[in-house]
Amino acid sequence: MQEKRLVLASGSPRRKELLAGLGLSFEVITADVEETIAPGTTPVDAVQDLAYKKALAVANTLSGGLVLGSDTVVALEDRILGKPADAAEAKQMLAMLSGRAHTVYTGIALIEAETNRSVRDVKATQVVMRELSAAEIDAYVATGEPMDKAGSYAIQGLASTFVTDMHGDYFAVVGLPLQLTAHHLAAFGLDVLRQGRG
């Protein structure tokens, strides 16, 4: 039986669905954090810092429990691609990713509210996209799917038809690296295999 309170500091329906798949009981409290990345910040630092800020913003409102924050960015060479501001930017990002390999970085942070004990980590996954025509990009952006996604695409959605190869963690690309998350949850006393279906 799960005893420790677990809170997901994210309003992402994808992260909620992935965490629910582990069978743990948890609640969602959305973190009100400005998701800005300072120039020169590496993708690894960016996602870990934002994940920590989200978790900390929620942990500071609680008297106890374990808070999980997460953040995802797409990086093409040294350029970080976050969520597009509008359709034009989404099209620009997809044109950049077309026919190339890029790396998706997803950071996680766990904070134990009563002790402030914390851990942060990151998973990097390489994704390769086929060549996309301008018409395909226009049609995809018109669906609205890219608009709240890092790099302007959802690998679990229509963009699955664009991906030709992947090296790493599929779940991290969707938004939450489950193996990494379960590993760190266990260190805080939440063993998924023992408590996930309790």
Report the run of H or E that residue 93 belongs to, with start and end.
Answer: helix 87-97
- Residues acting as catalytic residues: 71
pTM for the whole thing?
Answer: 0.92
User: What radius of gyration, in Å, describes the C-alpha atoms of the chain?
Assistant: 17
In 3D space, the residue among 98, 95, 92, 87 whose CA is nearest the CA of residue 127 turns out to be 98
Whether 187 has a pLDDT exceeding 70, the answer reads yes
Cβ neighbours for 169, distance < 8 A, ≥ 6 positions apart: 106, 123, 125, 177, 178, 179, 180
What is the number of other CB atoms lying within 10 angstroms of the CB of residue 89? 17
Q: Is 75 exposed, middle or buried (0-12, 13-18, 19+ CB in 10 A)?
A: buried
- CATH number belonging to domain 6-195: 3.90.950.10
Residues 167 and 160 sit within 8 Å (Cβ to Cβ): no
- Residue-wise pLDDT for 68-116, tens only, equals 999 999 999 879 998 899 999 999 999 999 999 999 999 999 999 999 9
Is the pLDDT assigned to residue 130 strictly greater than 80?
yes
How confident is the model at residue 114, as a pLDDT?
93
Per-residue pLDDT for 180 more than 70?
A: yes
Rounded to the nearest 5°, which phi and psi values hold at 34? -75, 115
Q: Return the pLDDT at 104.
A: 96
Q: Name the packing angle between helices 134-142 and 87-97 (round to 10°).
A: 140
Tokens 């997803």 belong to 106
Contacts (Cβ under 8 Å, ≥6 apart) of 86: none
| CA dist., res. 11 & res. 16, Å (int) | 8
- CA proximity to 94, closest of 163, 156, 34: 163
Residue 36 · residue 102 · CB < 8 Å: no
pLDDT at 193: 85
